[in-house]
Amino acid sequence: MFKFERIGPSKEANHISMQVSRTVITGTGSYIPAQIKTNQDFTSSEFYGEDHKPLLTPADEIVEKFKGITGIEERRYADLDINSSDMALIASRIAIEDAGIDPETIDQIIFAHNFGDVVKDSIQTDVLPALASRVKHGLGIRNPSCVAYDILFGCPGWIQGVIQGHAFITAGIAKKCLVIGSETLSRVIDIHDRDSMIFSDGAGACIIESVDASLSDSGILASAVQSHCVDEAFYLTMGKSYLPDSNPNIRYMKMKGRKVYEYAIKHVPLAMKDCLDKSGLHITDVKKFFLHQANEKMDEGFVKALYRLYGIKEVPNHIMPMSIHKLGNSSVATIPTLYDLVKRNLLHDHSISKGDVVMFASVGAGMNINAFCYRV
């Protein structure tokens, strides 16, 4: 961000002093639900196909194959008396405390989600008021200049919120932003669809601040964002249950898994390289990749393809933290939760240090892709 201040008139020109700032993540927090749903819990499920006919493969074999592809062993579901905005509020309080700031000094609350609050025993989305407004209310922030709003951008929503907050900071409109990603996907899944085993619940949040560049080398270095909305727009949609004769008026999240995989493998590595190119960095400068936790093999494919774009065949060990094995895919919450775990040294074999360069990247409904490079 550039701030200009006139320091005196001149016959030839106005003299301007310039102060440069960086957008720095100063605090993080997350909420991981206590309820564990294991793969074993799905072995008695009745799975149906898109044609509403029962799958002939036994459920235990479907579950085992699912684990081999996605890497998921467990996932977390929120207790029925806890909504997405409740989890977000808890994660936000932790992030604010970690940053050591007064909530009244927050300029923007950016809440990324896709389904709002889905109250127990209901499939209806509740976004009135906006979830960001609920978090602001819960934090007790009275400052009317703290603007609270939601964004819907699929699973990349939290990254998009950070990029958006960074843009406001760079423009001088904001100095501090609270960016949240929270979702209760367990309440919008069709239990008769085998893809339902992927999804989970959770919340992550961070504080990003404007920091004088002379005081810190940390900050966002570059970003890249893409939307593909031709055929790709309908790779994730809402539709009726695969259960025969189910109520067509009750709709659940549906995913064309193969289409999503093929799209992501093709486009995500290119977007990640675009981000690195904009930052002026080489892939060997990156210490960790924080990727959306949707599918273990897909994430491994992203990184391998990215290294190949640089003519490198071998991917370094411990370059990619993974939480999907125990936490599943909680959409917008996967990356901020993962980053919070690593930052607090709670994920085995992974840590980050001051000065490390990391990359955040995600893909999801839209179809949307985004990434940003960050110096810790």
pLDDT value at residue 81 = 93
DSSP H or E segment with residue 286: strand 286-291
Instruction: Report, in this order, helix, strand and coil percent for the chain, each rounded to 5.
Output: 35, 30, 40
Taking the model in full, what pTM does it have? 0.91
pLDDT value at residue 36 = 97
The CATH class of 22-212 is alpha beta
Burial class (CB in 10 A: 0-12, 13-18, 19+), 100: exposed
Residue among 232, 120, 134 nearest 184 (CA): 120
Domain ranges in the chain with CATH number 3.40.47.10? 22-212, 219-375
**Separation in Å, CA 86 to CA 70, 107, 124, 157, 180:** 28, 21, 17, 18, 12
pLDDT value at residue 19 = 56
Alpha carbons 272 and 361: distance in angstroms, whole number: 7
The CATH class of 219-375 is alpha beta
Residue-wise pLDDT tens for the chain (376 aa)?
333 233 333 333 333 334 588 999 999 999 999 999 999 999 999 999 999 999 999 999 999 999 999 999 999 999 999 999 999 999 999 999 999 999 999 999 999 999 999 998 777 789 999 999 999 999 999 999 999 999 999 999 999 999 999 999 999 999 999 999 999 999 999 999 999 999 999 999 999 999 998 888 999 999 999 999 999 999 999 999 999 999 988 999 999 989 999 999 999 999 999 999 999 999 999 999 999 999 999 999 999 999 999 999 999 999 999 999 999 999 999 999 999 999 999 998 899 999 999 999 999 999 999 999 999 9
| Degrees to nearest 5, angle at CA 34 with 365 and 47 | 55
Alpha carbons 246 and 230: distance in angstroms, whole number: 30
**Separation in Å, CA 237 to CA 206, 257, 348, 364:** 29, 12, 36, 11
Residue type for position 147 = V
